[in-house]
Amino acid sequence: LQAWSVDRAEDFQAVMTEALAMPGPSVVEVKMGQIGALRFAGPPQKTLY
């Protein structure tokens, strides 16, 4: 099982390209604490007229 760790947003595309090219399963760990804060706005809100 191949595994990668991403701690910079700039590296994500290259790592994913390499992981997807591998035969079989792979793991890509994204270290969000080092990339930046997750600004979660919540689920979409329905507007009723």
Q: Write down the residue that tokens 């997750």 correspond to.
A: 38
**How confident is the model at residue 20, as a pLDDT?**
96
Query: In whole angstroms, how far apart are CA 40 and each of 11, 14, 24, 32, 43?
Result: 22, 25, 32, 13, 9
Query: In whole angstroms, how far apart are CA 2 and each of 12, 19, 21, 24?
Result: 16, 8, 11, 9
Query: What is the arithmetic mean of pLDDT over 9-38?
Result: 92
Domains of the chain, by residue range, sit at 2-35
**How confident is the model at residue 35, as a pLDDT?**
85
Which residues, 6 or more positions from 7, have their beta carbon under 8 angstroms from its beta carbon?
31, 34, 35
26 Cα distance to chain centroid:
13
Query: What is the arithmetic mean of pLDDT over 13-42?
Result: 91
